[in-house]
Chains A and B, each alone.
Chain A
Amino acid sequence: DTEVTQTPKHLVMGMTNKKSLKCEQHMGHRAMYWYKQKAKKPPELMFVYSYEKLSINESVPSRFSPECPNSSLLNLHLHALQPEDSALYLCASSPWERAGGTKNIQYFGAGTRLSVL
């Protein structure tokens, strides 16, 4: 099973709402990622979790709050978003890589398409 599952597939929210995106993988991967993808652009890395701890935050605004409750789950909590935050949010995971490792790859979910009104 090489599946990364994201829910919901679509989400519409107002600027005062609080919502959460969920991501799940059962491949035993210990690195998990959130990306944001705007239309006709490549994915942009937002956060990296390594062994359930936040290791990278690419200067993301605090209205996005990630959480990794266990090794299989990754959440992205959303609060007071702006219309420009409308995008496809992608989750990904990869095996933990020893120094010099070359064989592992990142697996992506299908994404949550978010619209902020």
Chain B
Amino acid sequence: GNSVTQMEGPVTLSEEAFLTINCTYTATGYPSLFWYVQYPGEGLQLLLKATKADDKGSNKGFEATYRKETTSFHLEKGSVQVSDSAVYFCALRQSLQGAQKLVFGQGTRLTINP
């Protein structure tokens, strides 16, 4: 079946450091890929997405490129801020006859220290 594997956390960085969170997937075909972010005490917010190979999703300084050769969708940011502290989930989408199922990775907790 389809699955998503994320790098294990937690990840702790200093402000302005470079961030990479690795994500790889196993799937039939080429599913759409997503990064969702969950701030403390909140639900999930879509951070960025990519729907086909070589697409680059970007938002709020975060980027991720859909690499079908390596089945990866790694999240990067050049200079993190304290406000980026959150849990990040990589996910792929399976279509379910008009609806959809999101298959999530285990999540990576990110803490940014000032």
Q: Tell me the A residues contacting B by CB distance below 8 Å.
A: 4, 6, 30-31, 33, 40-43, 45, 48-50, 55-56, 90, 92, 94, 96-99, 101-111
Q: Does B69 reach chain A (CB closer than 8 Å)?
A: no
User: Which single residue of chain B is at the shortest CB-CB distance from A102?
Assistant: B51
Q: Which residue of A lies closest to B46 (CB)?
A: A105
Bound complex: CA of A109 vs CA of B51, how far in Å?
23
Contact check, A108 vs B101: say whether CB atoms are below 8 A apart. no
Q: For residue A103, which residue of chain B has the nearest CB?
A: B51
Count B-side interface residues using an 8 Å CB cutoff.
Answer: 26
Q: List 26 A-B contacts (CB under 8 A).
A: A30-B98, A31-B98, A31-B99, A33-B99, A40-B107, A42-B105, A48-B96, A50-B96, A50-B98, A55-B96, A55-B97, A56-B101, A90-B43, A94-B100, A96-B98, A96-B99, A97-B95, A97-B100, A98-B98, A102-B52, A106-B102, A108-B44, A109-B43, A110-B43, A111-B42, A111-B43
For residue B49, CB closer than 8 A to chain A, the reply is yes
Give every chain A residue within 8 A of B36 (Cβ-Cβ): 108
Nearest CB of B to A59, in Å: 14
CA distance A96 to B96 in the complex (A): 10
B residues 87-114 near A (Cβ < 8 Å) are 89, 93, 95-102, 104-107, 109
B46 A94 Cβ-Cβ under 8 A: no
- Bound: A106/B95 CA distance, A: 12
Instruction: Tell me if B43 and A48 are in contact (CB < 8 A).
Output: no
- Closest residue of chain B to A101 (Cβ to Cβ) is B95
Within 41-59 of B, Cβ neighbours of A (below 8 Å) are at 42-46, 49, 51-52
